[in-house]
Chain A
């Protein structure tokens, strides 16, 4: 099984900050990685797929990078609506999610 490890687990930030979340895979997943945002009581929302492709309708302040085993999600300038939990997901072999990163004020 492919394990996905996100860091940090919790991130404290302010509006306007540049935020980076890291996701590491236990083996090479090439670019088969997606990022989701989830707010309390809501279903996840796809932000990025293929490691760096922005989903339609997602603000351009979100970006993804990386390949192989190390990936990052960057929010260029944190907005009030961005306080949420973020998950990475590999889909190279079946699907595995990271444990989540909570972005809080």
Chain B
């Protein structure tokens, strides 16, 4: 059974940093690309970043709204993906989800997300 468990969220101030983790199980981690998405309160879904699996292993892409501030990474030995978020803004407040995919970036299964709140 595939599981995605996001963690690391919390309340922080503008300009600070936070690192999210997504612990996965139930699939061959290295074969898949990983994506972070978010949903601001009462708003729609937004793709944030992804990191590719085989064959373009480790290459990354970012949404314009987070490029230069967020960094996605992966640890295949632990089946975990991370999202390092720096220079946080109030508009980064959202529920953050991780997901996995292979070939086509749509998402069969979602975790429960981790809440990030940026407020002074």
Contact B50 A94 (CB under 8 A): yes
User: Would you call B44 and A44 a contact (CB within 8 A)?
Assistant: no
Instruction: Let me know if B106 and A91 touch, CB within 8 A.
Output: yes
Of all chain A residues, the one with the shortest Cβ separation from B104 is: A91
Contact B47 A97 (CB under 8 A): yes
Size class of the B contact interface (CB-based, 8 Å): 20 to 34
B53 at the interface (CB under 8 A from A): no
Judge if A34 is at the interface, Cβ distance under 8 Å: yes
Residues of B within 8 A of A83 (CB): none
- Contact pick for B45, options A32, A94, A97, CB 8 Å: A97
Residues on A facing B (Cβ under 8 Å): 1, 32, 34, 36, 43-46, 49-50, 55, 87, 89, 91, 94-100
> Can you give 5 A-B contacts (C-beta < 8 A)?
A46-B108, A49-B106, A91-B104, A94-B50, A95-B35
Given pairs A44-B110, A46-B106, 4 additional interface contacts (CB within 8 A): A36-B45, A91-B106, A95-B47, A99-B44
Interface, chain B (partner A; CB < 8 A): 35, 37, 44-47, 50, 61, 63-64, 97, 104-113
Q: Nearest 3 CB-CB pairs, A to B?
A: A43-B110, A34-B106, A95-B47
